[in-house]
Amino acid sequence: MRMDLTRWTVRATGDLVEVPAELVDTLRAGVSATVPGSVHTDLLAAGLIPDPYLDRNEDLVQWIGLTDWRYETEFDRPAAAGAAALAFDGLDTVAKIELNGRVLGETENMHRSYRFPTGELRSEGNELSVTFASAVRYARARAAAHPLPRTNDGEPSNFIRKMACNFGWDWGPSLVTAGLWRPARLEITTGRLASVRPVVTVEGTEGVVTVHTEVEGEGTVRIRVAGIEATGDTARVPSPQLWWPHTLGEQPLYPLEVTLEAADGTVLDTWTREIGFRTVALDTTDGAFILSVNGTPLFVRGANWIPDDCFPHRVDAQRYARRIEQAKDVNIDLLRVWGGGIFESDEFYAECDREGVLVWQDFLFACMPYPEDVLAEEVEAEARENVVRLAPHPSLVLWCGNNENYLGWFHWDWQERLAGQPWGATFYEKLLPAVVGELDPTRPYVPGSPWALSPERDALDPDYGCQHVWDMWNERDYLGYRDTVPRFVSEFGWQAPPTFATLTEAVHDEPLAADSPGVLHHQKAFDGNGKLARGLAPHFAEPETFDDWHFLNQVNQARAIRLAVEHYRSHAPRCMGAIVWQLNDCWPVTSWAAVDGAGRPKPLWYTLREVYADELLTIQPRPEGLTVFALGFTPETVDVRRMSVTGEELASAAVAPGTALGPEFAAGDPAREFLVADAGDKRAFWFFAEDKDIAYPQAEFTQSVTGFDGGYEVTVIADTLMRDVCLFPDRLAADATVDFALVTLLPGESATFTVETEARLQPGDLTSAPVLHWIE
């Protein structure tokens, strides 16, 4: 018997000097709380704090993370036989659990679940409390008492096992949470499956499932896979269909059911999952980093995943499904769950299983040295629990020890500042691979990202392993992506503001400007706007209006990632993967995301759909000259034209893909000429000059708008060259979406945008600036 505990009261406790004076009495008395939940969302629901996602309200709620909080509830004991226990799937973070005045236990790890036997219960009125100490104060106290030097900015989140980005990141606010962030319940059992760990393999033509179980109480374990009863702990499925990533095949899933039965046949406990049969391998021969599924190497087309909300309990199955659909819709076949966040809920991985999206899972260490002596016991416990929990999912294909800690060791002065002190390497090189080897031997493990395949080799050696490429955004122009060919790129990215609707829903500056207070508050990167300006300068004239700033930075983000991905893909098989930073955001912010904090796609999202397509046509510079590559398909020839910006064809030829273009395709006047290549429905452009230097003609076009039930079709017919035409209907209606963006039209060509919205829009507004925008 299981009884969910969802209705609680939360009250501030202890020293309330940080609490605003007008709230002290109310918070001492307590307000209604919801589980799963957090203090922030409970106070927001009670109308006691402003929404921290809006304007600069984040600054007004910092006291929450500096305060202790007590959650309280009462429950009656159900009339069921058996031993009672309280189960907590997630406690955030430093907690004391008390029942009827007795301390059941204390915790200090957000990334674990807990179960406490209750002993005898009252028939009515059992009083349960969970008191959370301030995570900020706890981490500060630990850091102050430890010799490990500070090598990170801000709070010492490396001293507590909590979602690191709660303390702020270069795309996220500082909102240090507390609460029961995953479900809590009372369980009464006479026998239970304490742990179920299936190991799924493919042997020849058979699928083999070996299930390891731990049982509390008495009972017989029975295992069925696809209706087949196991012999002992192993079931063999003849000729199963193989599970593939969606870019390579289908995703057949098979039911796995494990039951614990009493001697009389009564079912005491049941554990069910859907599993898939597939093999996965990582080839690192001669420095390579090649992921294979079912023996088929793949060029990974990926994106990094961060927590989709600063308050993760708000991300439900429907929201996971929407994000994963957005990833799949742009041909992303792998999501890397980044190490500064959380082990996501089961719904995330199950949705990836169903949709064929691979998962690279970081262990939860990011960008900081970690005190091994303080954290070792908790790290092992959380690793063991989560490896067992996630191992049944066929979508999970790689474990990774940390994010950017080897980068810190080699490039952030750690070696000098740490002076020989342990910093986490034992976790990444010994503890975690041992846990994975013991509990999940079917999957590869790497110690970190970036990782040059040896702890003795510079983590950023492009000839080995997986790389992070950030010097373009931080220091150089994105044309520099072409200077090296890494074996695999697990992080690279370029910033842009969120969609206009998302920005203006969150920021209410008057006037709105790139440097207005609210816009700047929603830019968390160090010198972020300065880097945006320096990134624009080589390519575009300085924007004169906010609308131009917003549009050009979104275009520049898409251009940067297009250039990088096409470069990396054109160098396969030396380079065998690109994982863009990042798919999603956790709040409304200027960031590297393709989908903003309100779930709206930025122009980058549409660009990913093109550059991650199975078939890609691209023009690339090579030492022997410009070369047309057909990636993923094999046309006999590609039609290439050199054209003037006024529409004249200056040269043309049908060329074999992979061969350098002849001298007739060299620019006579770079400011007034460009190349266009066509193969079937695939097209590629090459402009010889940057936009600020191109003599674009004054755009001339005709347009028409046709309404239909649920939206509009907007057709643009170009009479002149029009580059990167976009339609931004979210400027007119918050629910409005459009089906594509950034289309370049030659004279005489047309594009029809499909806008979906429930709003009634004026046709003229849909074809006027800044809703309709292009490069001028």
Digit-coded pLDDT (tens) for 283-340: 999 999 999 999 999 999 999 999 999 999 999 999 999 999 999 999 999 999 999 9
The answer on pLDDT for 151 being more than 90 is no
56-80, pLDDT tens digit by residue? 999 999 999 999 999 999 999 999 9
Do 618-693 and 299-332+466-612 fall under one CATH topology? no
Mean pLDDT of the chain: 97
Q: Which of 681, 688, 642, 680 is nearest to 661 (CA)?
A: 642
Determine phi and psi for 569, rounding to 5 degrees: -65, -35
Q: Which residue, 228, 351, 207, is CA-closest to 277?
A: 207
Q: Give the C-alpha separation, 592 to 344, whole Å.
A: 21
Could you read off the pLDDT of 176-224 as tens digits, one per residue? 999 999 999 999 999 999 999 999 999 999 999 999 999 999 899 999 9
Question: If you classify domain 190-275 with CATH, what class do you get?
Answer: mainly beta
Average pLDDT (719-745) is 98
Taking only the tens place, the pLDDT of each residue in 566-594 is 999 999 999 999 999 999 999 999 999 99
| Residue 560 clears pLDDT 80, i.e. is over it | yes
Q: Is 404 among the catalytic positions?
A: yes
Active-site option among 187, 344, 404, 491: 404
Could you tell me what percent of the chain has a pLDDT over 90? 99
pLDDT confidence of residue 565: 98
Does the structure show a pLDDT above 80 at 429?
yes
* Bridge partners (DSSP) listed for residue 131: 70, 96
Average pLDDT of the residues in 603-632: 97
The predicted pLDDT at position 124 comes to 96
Secondary-structure class of domain 2-186 per CATH: mainly beta
C-alpha span between 426 and 242 (Å, rounded): 36
Fold of 701-775: Immunoglobulin-like (2.60.40)
Task: Answer positive or negative: Cα dihedral of 142, 147, 148, 154.
Answer: positive
pLDDT average, residue stretch 449-470: 98
In this prediction, residue 583 carries a pLDDT of 98
Does 152 score more than 90 pLDDT? no
CATH architecture observed for domain 618-693: Sandwich (2.60)
What burial letters (b/e) apply to 418-433, b meaning 16+ CB within 10 Å? beeeebbbebbeebbb
The pLDDT of residue 154 is 86
DSSP-derived secondary structure for 432-498: HHHHHHHH-TTS-EES-BSB-SSTTS-TT-TTSSBEEE-HHHHTS-GGGGGG---S-EEEE---B--
Mean pLDDT confidence for 456-483: 97
* Domain chopping of the chain, boundaries: 2-186, 190-275, 299-332+466-612, 618-693, 701-775
**Closest Cα partner for 212 from 226, 228, 200, 229?**
200
**Residue that is written with structure tokens 């950023």 in the block:** 460
**pTM, whole model, 2 decimals?**
0.97
**Neighbour count for residue 516 (Cβ, 10 Å):** 15
Question: Within a 10 A sphere around the Cβ of 561, how many other Cβ atoms?
Answer: 25
Q: Which fold has domain 299-332+466-612?
A: TIM Barrel (3.20.20)
Give pLDDT tens digits for 527-539. Answer: 999 999 999 999 9
Q: What is the mean pLDDT of residues 703-729?
A: 97
- In the predicted model, what is the mean pLDDT of residues 351-372? 98
pLDDT reading at 150 higher than 90: no
The proportion of the chain whose per-residue pLDDT surpasses 70, expressed as a percent, equals: 100
Helix, strand, coil % over all residues of the chain, rounded to 5: 25, 35, 40
Q: Tell me the mean pLDDT in the region 128-137.
A: 98
Residue carrying the six token digits 């002076």:
419
Strands 625-631 and 616-622: antiparallel
